[in-house]
Amino acid sequence: MMGTVETCPQCGWTFDTEALQANTCKKCRSAILITSVAHLEKFDRPAIQKYIVRNSEILKGDTKDQDALLCMGLCYLRLGLYETADKYLGSLIDAHPEVASGYYYKAIGCMKGRRPRVLTLNTVRTAEQLLLTAMTLEPDNGRHDAVLAAMRHDYYVVNGLRVPDPSPAELLEGARGKHFDRNEIAQGLALMSIPESSLAAAIFAKQN
């Protein structure tokens, strides 16, 4: 886990245990640890760079720090630097193969900001396998089901290809009742260049 961090990466406020447990700086209200792309939604490049600087220092002391590797992968993914993001997410998987987030975000990153419908079959299959692994490791998190459903719909259904099992509809049905962070999933769809569409509406309707 992350080494000792005493100040907020954004504003420099020295935080207490309560703030760390809430993962929110009491002064600027930004996340202390970045564990989701949703935490970076409102940050511009200079603000994201502050997290990169802080976590680069942490990795100098511990190259396998789980939180720092995930943060670095997410920051570079958010910046559209996919090769660098893939390097950190790959290191996260190598050091912590039990952590589902590494596979989930590596799957999104391997699409390099392009819609699934324009990718090669090999790339889609690689992303599918990563997402299926994430589902196995974290079966109660509906984000894996939702993003895999969106990807399979955009690649197989839109291109008129045979859809592998489970189908998008089956995946969305399977996500019912699981942990479902709408903002997290919306950010995942955005990183895949999938617009707010009827599919996105269907994903969120399944949880109503």
The closest alpha carbon to 103, from 86, 116, 118, 117, belongs to 86
CA–centroid distance for 86 within its chain: 12
Please enumerate in sequence order all residues whose Cβ is within 8 A of that of 29, keeping only pairs 6 or more positions apart, or say none.
none
Compute how many other C-beta atoms are within 10 angstroms of the C-beta atom of residue 164.
Answer: 11
Which of helix, strand or coil describes residue 189?
Answer: helix
Question: What's the pLDDT score for residue 21?
Answer: 57
What is the Cα–Cα distance from 15 to 160, expressed in whole angstroms? Answer: 53
What is the Cα–Cα distance from 9 to 194, expressed in whole angstroms? Answer: 31
Give residue-wise pLDDT tens across range 112-163.
999 999 999 999 999 999 999 999 999 999 999 999 999 999 999 999 999 9
Given pLDDT bands bounded at 50, 70 and 90, which one contains residue 13?
low
Q: Are 105 and 71 in contact (CB under 8 A)?
A: no
The closest alpha carbon to 78, from 135, 50, 39, 119, belongs to 39
What is the Cα–Cα distance from 183 to 173, expressed in whole angstroms? Answer: 19
The closest alpha carbon to 185, from 204, 206, 198, 199, belongs to 204
What is the Cα–Cα distance from 2 to 127, expressed in whole angstroms? Answer: 27
Q: What average pLDDT does the chain have? A: 87
Domain ranges of the chain: 99-208
| CA torsion, ordered 5, 10, 13, 14, to nearest 10 deg | 0
Question: What's the pLDDT score for residue 2?
Answer: 42
- The DSSP letter of residue 163 is P
Which amino acid is residue 78, in one-letter code? R
How many residues appear in the chain?
A: 208
Give residue-wise pLDDT tens across range 73-84.
999 999 999 999
**Mean pLDDT to the nearest integer, 99-116:** 97
- Give the residue with greater pLDDT, 45 vs 30: 45
Which of helix, strand or coil describes residue 31?
Answer: strand
**Mean pLDDT to the nearest integer, 64-69:** 96
